[in-house]
Amino acid sequence: MTVSTPNLFLIYVTDVARATRFYSALFGMSPQMTTPRYVPFEVAPGVLFALWSGRAGEVTVEAPRFSEVGLMVPGSADAVDAIHDEWVGKGVTVVEAPHDEVFGRTFVVTDPDGNLIRVSPLD
């Protein structure tokens, strides 16, 4: 069997339980399973979005954690703004307020480890 497209997206976090609660609440999804250092969520058939703290001997808060997760939504700029307002109500940290870019309306928030989460329209 040949797999030609990526099907696992890892987000590095320092506290897997905290990150699991954050992403479960933010996206309204439940993990497939939970372990102390790895928690996968199936976001499409055969495609996983997973939280990972790294190898047991290397888990430290000093380890760099940085990535950008994208959520592309159907609809107009109003749909992007509505998600922004909903997430602000959940207490997320906004690092880029809603604004227009070359690809459409967008905004960026962070997870507890500083990983970026960008919302934008479908390409």
Fold for the domain defined by 1-56? 3.30.720
Q: Strand 8-12's sheet: what is its strand order?
A: 8-12, 47-52, 38-44
> Coil, strand or helix: which one is 75?
coil
pLDDT tens-digit series, residues 73-99: 998 899 999 999 999 999 999 999 999
For residues 117 and 109, is the Cβ–Cβ distance under 8 A?
yes
**In which band, very low, low, confident or very high, does the pLDDT at 62 lie, cut at 50, 70 and 90?**
low
Instruction: Record the pTM.
Output: 0.83
Measured from the Cβ of residue 65, the count of other Cβ atoms closer than 10 Å reads 18
For strands 116-121 and 68-73, give the pairing: parallel
What CATH code is assigned to 66-123? 3.10.180.10
Enumerate the CATH 3.10.180.10 domain ranges in the chain, comma separated. Answer: 66-123
Check whether 113 has a pLDDT greater than 90: no
